[in-house]
Amino acid sequence: MRIAFLTAPEGVEQVELTDPWRSAVDAGHEPVLVSTEAGEIQAFDHLDKADTFPVDEVVGEASAGSFGGLVLPGGVANPDFLRTDGRAVAFVKEFFDRGLPVAAICHAPWTLVEADVVGGRELTSWPSLATDIRNAGGTWVDEQVKICDHGPNKLVTSRKPDDLKAFCEAYLDVFAREAVR
């Protein structure tokens, strides 16, 4: 299965990109780095620059229909940038409109709030997003991983890098089950 990993050109938390990416590869999937600009993205280790990664597809040219699911890595700057880019928000919303599974960790639910897809859903995130999620009609929970099946698609969310092992296991399980339905 092809899995889209959506990031901004700068600001993604590296481990929240690389651990889920590696898990997808290990499970036999094809991760695809999608960004708002061609070239490379700059990842961060919290506030320090880390590695760069090549962009495979650009938002606006990519379609949710060519993927089996979407992963939204966190980092504070990454989703803050994505939620201000109309093409990125529309790309995220398209996954929900098509009933495809989505996984988001840490600050990534900010993009979900902007895409207006959290209403009626239970999800978790970095704690500072709790009010934003509630204001958008969602229910915030403080759990390592939350799988929500409200609506036509599944949403997997997690709080922080310490939760990555559980997040990767959960999103891969959900994506695999959704692929066979």
Q: Torsion-angle region of residue 180: left (phi > 0), alpha (psi -120 to 50) or beta?
A: alpha
User: For residues 122 and 146, is the Cβ–Cβ distance under 8 A?
Assistant: yes
Which are the contacts of 139, defined by CB distance < 8 A and separation ≥ 6? 121, 122, 123, 133
Check 41, 92, 100, 106 and give the catalytic one: 106
Q: Beta-carbon neighbour count of residue 135 at 10 Å?
A: 10
Is residue 106 flagged as an active site residue? yes
Q: Taking CA 178 as the corner, what is the angle to CA 151 and CA 140, rounded to the nearest 5 degrees?
A: 45
Write down the residue that tokens 């280790």 correspond to: 45
Please identify every residue annotated as catalytic.
Answer: 106
